[in-house]
Structure formats: C-alpha cells, structure tokens
Structure 1
Amino acid sequence: MRPPTRRCVLAALGSAATLGTAGCTGLRAQYLPRTHRRDADPSGDSGPWPTLGHDARRTASADGPGPDADARLTRLHGANHFPERQVVVGPDFFLFVVRRWFERGEDGDDPFSGVVAVDKSGAERWRFGTEPDVGVPTVVGNAVVVEDTNGTRAVDAETGAVNWYYRSGYGFPHVSPAVRDGRVYVGGRRFLALDAATGERLWRTEEEMPAAQTCSATADGVVVSNGYDGNGGGLFCLDAEGGSVRWEADVASTYDPAAVGERRCFSVDEEGVLSAVSMADGSVEWTRNRTTDGEHLRYEQPVLADGLVLVGGWNAPLRAFDPATGETAWTAGPADERHYAPVAADDGIYGVTREGTVYEVGFDGTERWRRSIARTVTCAPSLADGALYFGSRSGETVEEWRGGFDRFGP
C-alpha cells in the first residue's frame, strides 16, 4: 500500500477545511472521528417511553395507569421481522429494532437490520439501516440517538436523516445509549460522553475500556456495565462531568444496564446473579442467585418500583426483593414461563412472558389478573397511554413466522 504523503498527514492534523484533500479519507476517519452535517435538536418532548427502561436510570417505572384485563390486542406493524428489544414510544411515533430480516416477497434482497419508525396508526415513517448489532434507540427531543457496533448517530425524529455521527470504534450496543443533561454516553474503544446537539466529544476515559457494554446515568454519575471483569469489576461508576472513575464493583461480567436508585444500583451479571451495589463506594451489599434443583438460572434486567427491586427470569415467577436487605418480599405470576423485565405504572406492575401471558400484580404482590394471548412475545414491554407495547410473532417455524409489534390496551 502506498504510504500517506506529507500533504495528507498535514491535512489530517490540520483544520477541518483542509480535509477535502483527495486520498486523505482514512486519516480523516482516524484523527477526526466525528461527521457533522447539522446540529441535532434535543429540545422538546421525548415521549412517554423514550429509551430502554423508560429513563436514563433504567428504572422501568412510568407515570400513568396500565391496561385492564379485557384490553384489546392490536398488531400495529407487521412483517416477518419482529422486535427482539424493547419498543421505544416517542411523542407521536414508535421505534423498534430488527436484525437480519428479509421482507416477505422480496427474495434475493439483502436482509434489513436497523431502526424502524412508525406513526401512531402503524404506518411506516422511516427506516434507518445499521450494522446488525444495534441497540435500543433513545429519543431526546426532536432527535433519535442510535448506536451500533461502529459508532453513534443522531438522526432527525421526523425524517430519519443523519445529523451527526461519531465513530467510536467497536462497541457493544446490545442495549441502549444513555442521554442525560445534554450528554450522550456510549461505549467504544474508550467510554465517551458526546454533546447531544453537535456530537462533539466532551470527554473520554484515559484508559481503554473495550468491554464496556452499556450504561445508566444520574445527574452526576454514569454506571457502566463491564463485559470483562479482568480489567476491573463488572460495574464501574464514572464522574459525569469529566469521566474519572469513582469506583469499581467486584461483580462478574455484566452486559445489561443497572437499575439505579438513590443509594444503590442493582444489576444482573452474566451468571444471572442479582447484586445490590452502593452508589457511594461500589461495595456489594448483597447478592441473590437462582437455583432450581441444582440448576443455575439467570434473572432478567432489574426494575425499580415503589420501594422494591423486581426481577423476572426463566421458569420461575416474578420476584420482588427489599432493596436494603435483599429479602424476598413476594413472588407472583406464572411459575413455569419466561418472564421479561416488567414495567411499573401508578396502579400496579405489569408483566409479559415469552409464552404469551400478560398479567398485573399489585405492589403488595397480589395478582389481579392474568390473560393468555395467542402469540410468542419476543421482548420486554414498554408502557405508554395506558397500554403495553411489545414485539411478538406467531407460527411455529421460521417459514411460518409472522411478526411485528403489538399494543395491548385501550
């Protein structure tokens, strides 16, 4: 390969205006990872469920009521693709992620992976193609932040046009970027804070953190899930202002984001163990794992609601723990199905299982109703406008699958 000329090197190190020089594209990407077309607009209403777990703390608790037992089940958008990750509800549109799916009747075309935006009637507004491994998008005002394995984009919520792009290097966007107080927090070669409007880098960690998976954010700290506990704990907390490390928690590798409370955060590691970690110093206050007849089973992503820590899991009921002691407060729901992470409303806790059971539980653990739907649910629910939203499919084999996302509510 022909080495770069001195002119190219100077162009890469100089002002952005000189970077139009032919042959310098590779160096431009290396030294200036941001592409800026226009500022994103993070102002305005972000919607009733704008990100994974409802908010940057990933509590999955939202204002307003949930549905009744006799709620109507409506397929809002269908194809052979279906969401495998939580649906996002913006102010007047929905966002869902699909990976490697062919459209029916379009044999021979490349499969589509990316984000699909539809309006409240279910009509497609736009779609944005990404790498197959793409996280749950986050709505911030009039922008949507999307992260895939190569980098992070802010796209226009109305059109899907890219406002800015930051090439962060290989990341693990299995979950969702966190956005708070004008900052976008994402992983990559190093963990980064970006300006939500411009995509400019505000800070990055001094050391490489290539296994940073995802995060939760508070007003002054960022709790990062670490997929490799050999370079520190499975969780660590960064200062939101400058990115310095406040603490590392001695838990196993962690891929899902923590649910962050005032005094503690709660995470489930790769071994399925639920841990309560002090937000003051990162000490592990208690842990709980699941064993059934000697078989180790994992919990799902935790949820915070009305002074409880809630976790679902495989082949066991929904379980509620006391956040201070780790003692079991109650169990509810089907005992032999896969429970996704539930959602908490003003009037109760709502859960769905992979097998198609929808149920409501009071905050005291009393099961109020249970209903079976004739679909396989494919992701955890979201809550908005008194309804649950989730991905699902019907059919036993791949050839028979009919998928999409559904509304369970009035």
Structure 2
Amino acid sequence: MVPSSRRRFLAGLGVVGTAGLAGCLDAIPRFPKRVHDRDAVLTPRSDGWRSKHGGSARRGVTDGSLPSDATASPVLAVDDWWEVQPVFGPDEVVVPVQLPPESDAHEPSFEGLVALDSKSGDERWRFAYEKPFATPTVVGDTVFVQGKTTYALDRTDGTRYWEYRSGYGYAGTAPVFVDGVVAVIASRSRTVAGVDARTGEKLWSTPLVSEFPTGIASDGDSVYACTPGGGDDGPGELARLDASTGAFEWRTDLDARVSTPTVGTDRVYAWVGRRLAAFDGATGDELWSVRLRTSDHRYPPVVVDGGQCLTLEQKRGRNPNPTLVALDATSGEVQWRGPSAHELDTVQLAANETHVYVVLDSHDVAAVDRTDGTVTETWELPGHPTAGVAVDDGTAAVVTREEFEESVTLLN
C-alpha cells in the first residue's frame, strides 16, 4: 500500500502535470477548419472565360474578340515556368503567381493571387496563400481559389470573405460553382467537398475511387468528377454528383486514364486514354468517341460551344505539335483540321461565336475561323507561352517565357 504522504505527493504531481499540459495546450495556436469574416457576394453574374475547365461559364467561351491592332505587353514578371491559367473577372485579370526573389534572396518574393487591371496591367491587389495553386474561379464579386485551403475573396480589393481548410488542390482543380454551392477537390483525402458559397460552411463530402481526383466541372444542376485510373489504380471513373447533397446520380467505370470533363448543353466530354469521348449528361452512357492522340501525355483542352467541339489532335511523325480540330459535338464527326498549335501540354483555347483563339507553333496568337479552320488574324507574342490564351472583352491574357524570364502578357 502506498503511504498517504506519497499518495498526496503523486496526486500533487498529477495536478501540476494536468495544469501544465492544459497550459501548453492553451499556448498552442488553434487553426479552425473554417474562418468566416463575412458573406461572399455572388452577384452580378456575367458570362465569359472564368476558369481553365468546367461548365457553360467556365469552358473557354467568351463574347469578346481581339481587335486587329492589339499589341502584346508584358505587365508582370513571374517565376518558375508558370503554367497556371490567367482568368478574367470584370475589368481585371486574376492569376496565381510566384514572383521572382528580390536581390540575392533564394526564396520567392511573393506567392499567391495577383489581380491586374485588364487594360493597363496595373496591379489592383494581391493575396498571399500557399502552394500548390489551383486556377481560380470568378463568380460575381467573388474569386474562389484553392491551395491547401479554399478561399473566397472580394474581387474588388482581395480581402477575405471566408476560408475553409479543404486540403490540397492543384492547377487543374479549379473550384466549380452550382446554385450557391462551391465544389472543390481535396486530393489528399480523395474526396469532392461541397461548401456553401456565401459562408464557407461545409455541406457535404463525397469520397471517390483511385489515387486522386483528376478534376471537376459543373452545369446548372450537378457536379461532374473524374478519377484518372490506369495502372495499379484500377479503372478510371466519370461520375455525376448532386450539387446540394453530394450523392452520386450516376457513375461510369472507364478502362483508361480520364481527364477533367468539359460540360456541353446535355453532354459531358472527356479524354479517356487516347480518345475523346462524349457521354450523356443525364445517364453517363458513352455516345461516341474519336481517337485523336498517339501518346498518353497531358490532356489537350476541350471547348464545346454552339454544337461544335474544339480540341487538339496529336500529330504522328517527327512534329510533336498538335493540330487544331473541330468536331460535331453531337456525332463526333470531324468538321475540319486547322493550323498547328503550340506544345500539347501548355496550350489552351478560347472561343467566341465566330472564332477560336489558339497559340500557334510559331508562338503567335491566332484567330481561327470556326466554319473552316482558316487563320484570319495573328498577333505576335514577346516569348514562348507557358499557359494558354484567355480572351475577354477585347483583351487576351497569356503567360510567356523569354530566355529565363516569364511574364503575364496582355494583348489589347
């Protein structure tokens, strides 16, 4: 039996230990899952290029066109072969960047989101956050962007509406917006999460198969998600989720790696291995597919508009540059093959009602007639592009590289 004096001594140590531990815990900073400063403003809505992938307002479709006398001006030096897509908001361009180190420093001077005036290129605001960066999405007066955390920012000044610790995103996983819900990929947990777009409150989380989700897209009602599959990960998958609950509406297993989907009027388009395939948006049934690739390198962009599907066909032989190609969005029949574009893994497309804009293998931006694939105008860039061209309201934005220096370049 332990003597009473020793019991009192041990009990005293326990009290001190507990108090000490509590004190230590109180000293450790707490990181809440969600920080809500104020409700995000989701109006006014506008059409146009809003992100690298996605649905009707987020698939490279714009009402604007480039003027014939547009000239290219580098407006912001960026670092490290920057490939994240510039995105237009009303009167501004927003892009995640890493800025070059100052003087002899080894670390970048800034990492995060920068907003530039779309006409002058003058900086409007910046918001620091951690890599890896995802391409942002603009909805009304809110910019949604994801790193390790998903943020909702005031588009006018870059101040925070809210943040939610969603987990890692990456350049292809732009947030999507559906009827008041923002869906994001938390790639480490292999889930798609639905968050209240105004407040940042988590509404649902849906686990997916495979190593990590490839990307997500949206229409007016649902969220479409892909997992890549292939190799030891089993089949790829294309799935449609209810935007309000995250429940699966359908799931389609596919026998090859699957790209981020692009949403048309009633169909979903995605690369499945080396073929471009169209799926019924309501059922997930495959409707047609066309083999357009000769390797399993990165996926070419897909723009769907006005019954036409625009993408890049990889060439055979020594020339690695792809060819711009137009397909009938209903049947998959090739309508025309156009000019050679820049490298397959860096080019993006932007289309208005009459033309599609693409970076040529000569490193110029070209306007290509959507009826026959002929080049009608070109604009010279100051260097090699490292991300595709975005067009909105008479201005184009592209990241270019000259020798060892990258820059955000505006054409207007």
* Shared fold per TM-score greater than 0.5: yes
168, 175, 178: which one aligns with 1:177: 175
Shift of 1:48: 4.3
Shift of 1:133: 1.4
Q: SS at 2:226's partner residue?
A: strand
CA contact (8 A) 1:354 1:376 kept: no
Q: SS at 1:243's partner residue?
A: coil
Shift of 1:128: 2.2
Give the corresponding residue for 1:158. 156
Give the corresponding residue for 1:204. 205
CA contact (8 A) 2:342 2:363 kept: no
Change (3 A) 1:34 1:408: same
Q: Does 1:369 align with 2:379?
A: no
Give the corresponding residue for 2:117. 119
Shift of 1:364: 1.6
Shift of 1:207: 6.4
Give the corresponding residue for 1:226. 227
Alignment of 1:295-374 (within 5 A): 299-312=299-312, 313=314, 314-334=320-340, 338=344, 340-353=347-360, 355-369=362-376, 371=378, 372-374=380-382
Alignment of 1:43-62 (within 5 A): 43-45=43-45, 48-53=48-53, 58-62=58-62
Q: Measure, in 1, the Cα distance between the counterparts of 2:75 and 2:327.
A: 35
Q: Measure, in 1, the Cα distance between the counterparts of 2:381 and 2:83.
A: 18
CA contact (8 A) 2:54 2:217 kept: no
Q: Measure, in 2, the Cα distance between the counterparts of 1:336 and 1:34.
A: 41
Q: Measure, in 2, the Cα distance between the counterparts of 1:82 and 1:335.
A: 19
Per-residue Cα deviation, 1:239-287 (whole angstroms, up to 9, x for no partner) = 12211112222333334x3111123111124x44312112122122222
CA contact (8 A) 1:342 1:381 kept: yes
Give the corresponding residue for 2:214. 213
Change (3 A) 1:220 1:337: closer
Give the corresponding residue for 1:391. 399
Q: Measure, in 1, the Cα distance between the counterparts of 2:298 and 2:234.
A: 23
- Letter matched to residue 330 of structure 1: W
Q: Measure, in 1, the Cα distance between the counterparts of 2:373 and 2:72.
A: 24
CA contact (8 A) 2:78 2:97 kept: no
Q: SS at 1:89's partner residue?
A: strand
Which structure 2 segments of 5+ residues have no match? Answer: 1-16, 315-319
Q: Does 1:128 align with 2:127?
A: yes
Give the corresponding residue for 1:283. 285
Shift of 1:199: 0.2
- Letter matched to residue 65 of structure 1: S
Q: Which has the larger radius of gyration?
A: 2
Shift of 1:216: 0.9
Change (3 A) 1:157 1:110: same
Change (3 A) 1:344 1:88: same
Change (3 A) 1:53 1:39: same
CA contact (8 A) 1:356 1:373 kept: yes
244, 253, 263: which one aligns with 2:257: 253
Kindly report the root-mean-square deviation, in angstroms, between the aligned alpha carbons of the 2 structures: 3.2
Q: Measure, in 2, the Cα distance between the counterparts of 1:406 and 1:345.
A: 20
Identity fraction in percent: 29
Q: SS at 2:200's partner residue?
A: coil
Change (3 A) 1:232 1:248: farther
Q: Measure, in 2, the Cα distance between the counterparts of 1:333 and 1:207.
A: 38
Give the corresponding residue for 1:273. 275
Q: Measure, in 2, the Cα distance between the counterparts of 1:142 and 1:342.
A: 25
Shift of 1:104: 5.1
TM-score by length of 1: 0.81
Change (3 A) 1:377 1:224: same
CA contact (8 A) 1:49 1:55 kept: no
Q: Measure, in 1, the Cα distance between the counterparts of 2:350 and 2:400.
A: 17
Change (3 A) 1:405 1:227: same
Change (3 A) 1:169 1:109: closer
Change (3 A) 1:170 1:348: closer
258, 262, 265: which one aligns with 2:265: 262
- More divergent stretch after superposition (348-357 vs 217-226): 348-357
Q: Measure, in 2, the Cα distance between the counterparts of 1:132 and 1:280.
A: 36
CA contact (8 A) 2:226 2:237 kept: yes
Q: Measure, in 1, the Cα distance between the counterparts of 2:94 and 2:47.
A: 11
Per-residue Cα deviation, 1:211-243 (whole angstroms, up to 9, x for no partner) = 223211112211112134647643211112211
- Letter matched to residue 325 of structure 2: R
Change (3 A) 1:351 1:289: same
Per-residue Cα deviation, 1:165-212 (whole angstroms, up to 9, x for no partner) = 111234445331112322111111331111111001122226688622
CA contact (8 A) 2:209 2:227 kept: no
Give the corresponding residue for 2:3. none
Q: SS at 1:212's partner residue?
A: coil
Give the corresponding residue for 1:239. 242
Per-residue Cα deviation, 1:13-35 (whole angstroms, up to 9, x for no partner) = xxxxxxxx826756xx5xx6222
Change (3 A) 1:208 1:367: closer
Shift of 1:41: 2.0
